[in-house]
Amino acid sequence: MSAQSQPVQSIPLNRLLVSSDNVRRTDRKADIEALAASIASHGLLQNLSVTAADNDRFAVVAGGRRLAALKSLAKAGVIAKDFPVPCKVVAVEAGREASLVENVHRVAMDPIDEVEAFAALLAEGSTNDQIAHRFGVTIRHVDQRLVLAGLSPKIKSAWKRGQVSLEAARAFCLVEDHAQQEAVFRSLGKPVTHAASVRARLMEGRMRASDRLAKFVGLEGYELAGGAVVRDLFDVDAVYVEDPSLMARLAEEKLHGDGQAYLELGWGWVEVNLGQGRIEGASGTRLQPEWRELDPKEQAEMDRLKGELHALDEALDQDSVEDDPRWETRDDLAAAIEALRQSARDWDKELKPLAGVVLSIDHDGRVHSAFGVVRQADEKTIRAIRKRRQTAETGESGSVEATSDLAKTPGEESGLPKGVIRDLSLARTRAIRLTLARDPDKALAVAVAAMIVRTHFRSDLAGVSVAAHPAVVDDLDALEETRGMLEAVLPAEESDVLGWCLGQSTDALLFALAVLVARSVDLAHEKGSPADRRRHALADKLAAALRLDMREHWTSDAAFWTRLPKAELLATLADAPSIADLPDGERQTMLKAHAKLKKDDLAARVGEVFDGTGYLPDLLVTSLEEGALEITMAGDEAVAA
């Protein structure tokens, strides 16, 4: 007979006690007063589940909070001590299951209790599927709880004490190695509440599945090549590549495979650029194609495609459905139009073998092809060919730059006097400045472009006096990873930067701006000089504005303590909570005893006292930002009292 089918019988309250099989061990006293008041007003609306115990007593396996509320009412004289309580008597072996069923389906159990209860059932021989079926939860929920049960005992203990949040505990489950879990736990400030910080430390040296190279190769291809993947059971988006070097090799091989097609089209060379930096040995010039007119058949096809695209856009705008499958059709039409347009490009057949194609991977994992790149070694040959052609056509040798299909310098062909050009350009400058001031999005694009050119290409965006000068700082790995995300999407050529920025969304530009500004900050200082004081003051303001908690980024260690003077060590020790709370005489005696220690021994002792406390020296303590606190009415009344 199941627990649900057992008859209900009345048992005196003073014969009931809490069972050790009651799986709720955390916060069992929560809201007892409110529950007692409800029972006093409306009666006990649900029976308790009990098992037989010694001395004609019964142990409550489900209903511990109701039992506590009833005993509270009995103590207050509201009900009798032998008040008859409706109970279902269940077999001892079914006690834990009855407790777990009730706690899962009623007031949410503390996750720690559920973890331990599920682990106990698994140890008794139940499978994950059976546990999920018994208690009406998903197999994934059971799997997650059992993974938490496999955490390092030290971290589980810290979790129970409130030193690790549930989200952070889940993040520690990324690896099964207890030693690695505990090493990361020791390196973080306490309490550990930021899951992202835990993941970042545990996954150092690994690549996220959202990386452009992983998107290009695909996780399936990587795993077929023998690569391992780490997946977070609690966050489907947190997927990591164990072997970034294998992923990079697969990406390079795949790009090289694509490159053969360009060689067959007549290009002189194809180079793969996974880093998306500047190509070694490339000149600053590019071949440019000639664009021929579409023939009648091509033009008819172009008109048809554009007509379909226009009609589809009108239909999509009218329906306004984001997940409409017709968006894929629109993408196909746009791709067909672009392919037809590109087919009208004509490259110089004599110069084409002297130039090449650079293949890279953009942020979305797609191949980006830069055509017509000229190496410095071939630039002289190309100029000689052009000069020969001009001589043959005109009979005169002159500057080939005016007729070159390499990039021309704007304004050089003007025949206007210099003074006129200066005045006209000044007039246009004034208009551009005014228009930019009224268009924040474009102004943001220009500012970011100027910073990229300065930071990434070590050059200047001509005519724009906005620059970010990167400071040389040994950055945190997380910032290096963020910077890599930006550099992965930047164009390979300096001349393409402004156009790239003008095509970005405001969010993308703000992301780039944040990275560039962060790289320009260097607030390291010593003490004494006016410049040091100014840097210190600015660092204080920024830390307050950013709500910076240095416990997430810095931990005192032996190397820190041994660098402090002995007087500073003693002063710091005197402020330690375990010593500051001692009676004054005992405190002074202890400090005098420590003062007799050698400096290294004293440093070791101070380190032990502050280990795990989240200690920060005054310089690293973030002050509250002005206005962060406000005086409430209750506060005013307390002050007045």
Q: For residue range 238-293, list pLDDT tens digits in order.
A: 888 888 889 888 988 888 887 888 888 888 888 888 765 556 667 667 788 887 88
* Side-chain half-sphere exposure of 96, counting CA atoms within 13 A: 17
| Separation of alpha carbons 521 and 542, rounded Å | 11
Clarify whether residues 372 and 276 are in a common domain: yes
- Largest interatomic CA distance in the chain: 122
Clarify whether residues 271 and 383 are in a common domain: yes
Clarify whether residues 273 and 343 are in a common domain: yes
| Separation of alpha carbons 187 and 204, rounded Å | 13
Closest CA to 247 of 201, 286, 215, 204: 215
CATH of the domain at 89: 3.90.1530.10
Q: What is the pLDDT of residue 83?
A: 92
| Separation of alpha carbons 276 and 360, rounded Å | 6
Residue that finishes a domain, picked among 466, 488, 519: 519
Clarify whether residues 293 and 379 are in a common domain: yes
| Separation of alpha carbons 347 and 352, rounded Å | 6
Are the beta carbons of 390 and 398 closer than 8 angstroms? yes
- Domain contains 494: yes
Backbone angles phi and psi of 547, in degrees to 5: 50, 50
- Domain contains 329: yes
What size, in residues, is the chain? 641
Cα dihedral 317, 319, 320, 321 in deg (nearest 10):
-130
Clarify whether residues 485 and 371 are in a common domain: no
Clarify whether residues 312 and 369 are in a common domain: yes
Helix (H) / strand (E) containing 247: helix 244-264
Q: What is the pLDDT of residue 406?
A: 44
Residue that finishes a domain, picked among 466, 490, 519: 519
Which residue range is the domain that position 89 belongs to?
Answer: 3-109
Are the beta carbons of 520 and 471 closer than 8 angstroms? yes
| Separation of alpha carbons 545 and 627, rounded Å | 11
Clarify whether residues 383 and 477 are in a common domain: no
- Domain contains 360: yes
3-state SS, residue 531:
helix
Clarify whether residues 382 and 467 are in a common domain: no
- Domain contains 53: yes
3-state SS, residue 48:
strand
Percent composition of the chain: helix, strand, coil (DSSP 3-state, to 5): 55, 10, 35
Write out the two tokens for 375: 């190496």
Q: What is the pLDDT of residue 28?
A: 46
- Domain contains 337: yes
Q: Which residue, chain included where needed, has tokens 């050529």?
A: 493
122-157: b or e for each residue (b if 16 or more CB lie within 10 Å)?
beeebebeebbeebebeeebbbbbbbbbebbeebbe
Write out the two tokens for 369: 């092809």
Helix (H) / strand (E) containing 197: helix 195-202
Clarify whether residues 377 and 442 are in a common domain: no
| Separation of alpha carbons 108 and 534, rounded Å | 52
Cis preceding-peptide flag for 296 (omega within 30 of 0): no
Clarify whether residues 309 and 381 are in a common domain: yes
**How distant, in Å, are the alpha carbons of 434, 443, 445, 510, 517 from that of 440?**
11, 5, 9, 12, 18
Clarify whether residues 280 and 383 are in a common domain: yes
**How distant, in Å, are the alpha carbons of 180, 266, 377, 383, 393 from that of 380?**
57, 20, 7, 5, 20
Q: What is the pLDDT of residue 42?
A: 64
| Separation of alpha carbons 234 and 318, rounded Å | 39
| Separation of alpha carbons 239 and 251, rounded Å | 18
Backbone angles phi and psi of 584, in degrees to 5: -55, -45
Write out the two tokens for 52: 């037989």
Are the beta carbons of 70 and 38 closer than 8 angstroms? no
- Domain contains 372: yes
- Domain contains 508: yes
Domain count, the chain: 3
Residue that finishes a domain, picked among 390, 413, 447: 390
3-state SS, residue 443:
helix
- Domain contains 321: yes
Rg (CA), the chain: 36
For residue 187, the one-letter residue type is S
Clarify whether residues 377 and 272 are in a common domain: yes
Q: Which parts of the chain register pLDDT below 50?
A: 1-4, 25-28, 30, 104-107, 398-415, 627-632, 638-639
